[in-house]
Amino acid sequence: MAPTSNGGILMVDDARLGSGAHTGDDPTARWLQAAKAGDASAFEQIMILHQRQVLSTSLRLLGDVKDAQDAAQEVFLRLYKYLNRFQDGRQFPPWLYRITVNVCRDLQRRRQKTTMLSFEDLRETGEAIEPASATDLEAEFSLAEKRSFVKEALRRLPAKERAAVVLRDIEGLSTREVAGILGSSEITVRSQVSSARLKMKLFLERRLKAKKRL
């Protein structure tokens, strides 16, 4: 079933986003009930429970801390505005992921800050394209370097591939869940994820060779 968009909030009526997973023990469900009744402190509790999800996903998708903070703020404000549209019995995190992806996409469009770099740019700059070995990747990169290179690789991905690989590989969602969040098919998500993984592998190997030259 195709999702419908309304002001960046997709009306979730898609089984891929999960349903029936709420139990009486789910703290989010209880806070949601109270927040829908106008309890601001309950809404703040929802934020505390899910702020890492929203902020880290925004950071991976946008690549900038300040932009990610702006996006997270917008996500929670949209959540507050459309809280009553969330159907009880649905899983909350996928719904929140969907808002987050839409907000980040809108923010990128508004600010026109989509990175124009691509993986082909490395060839033009004459950087090495020989692949490095797996042991090289593990040994040569410090933790900070690894993170920096991965972030740069993410920025170079097309937006749809970036969203798919962030949700699948970094946030750890299933292909089915990612498809539900992005509003596409599982086949499309697999294709996007496969392409993104190959591009990122290539990029990281090139970065290693460039570092070795220095």
Partner 1 sequence: MNCDSIQKLIALYSEGDLGAAQATTVETHLLSCAACQSFLNELEASQAMVKALAAETLDPASFDRVRQRVMEEVSRAQVAHTPWWRLPHSVLAGWSPAWAVGLALVLGLGFLLPWRFWREPAAPEPREHAVASGSPTHQQVAASPTPVSSAEAVQKPELRQLALRRKVLPRHRLALAAQGEPESIAAETEQPVEQGAVLGVETTPPADIVAEPLPPLLIKLMTDDPNIVIVWLVDLETQEK
Residue ranges in contact with partner 1 by CB under 8 A: 38, 40, 43-44, 47-48, 51-52, 55-56, 59-60, 65, 68-69, 72-73, 76-77, 80, 131-134, 137-138, 141, 143, 146-147, 149-151, 153, 165, 168-172, 175, 190, 193-195, 197-198, 200-201, 204-205
The DSSP H or E segment spanning 9 is strand 9-11
Burial of 23 (0-12, 13-18, 19+ CB in 10 A): exposed
Amino acid in position 115: T
Q: Which is nearer to partner 1, 30 or 151 (CB)?
A: 151
Give the position of tokens 């097309």. 158
Q: Which is nearer to partner 1, 118 or 194 (CB)?
A: 194
Q: How far apart are CA 42 and CA 44, in angstroms?
A: 5
Q: How far apart are CA 180 and CA 12, in angstroms?
A: 9
Q: Which is nearer to partner 1, 14 or 171 (CB)?
A: 171
Q: Which is nearer to partner 1, 44 or 121 (CB)?
A: 44
Distances (CA, A) of 175 to 58, 125, 150, 197: 19, 35, 21, 14
| Minimal distance, residue 172 CB to partner 1, in Å | 7
| Contact of 193 with 166, CB cutoff 8 Å | no
| Minimal distance, residue 23 CB to partner 1, in Å | 26
Q: Which is nearer to partner 1, 92 or 141 (CB)?
A: 141
* DSSP 8-state symbol, 87: P
| Minimal distance, residue 30 CB to partner 1, in Å | 19
| Minimal distance, residue 13 CB to partner 1, in Å | 26
| Minimal distance, residue 29 CB to partner 1, in Å | 20
Give the position of tokens 């370097």. 145
| Minimal distance, residue 118 CB to partner 1, in Å | 18
Q: Which is nearer to partner 1, 21 or 40 (CB)?
A: 40
Compute φ and ψ for 114, nearest 5 degrees.
Answer: -60, 130
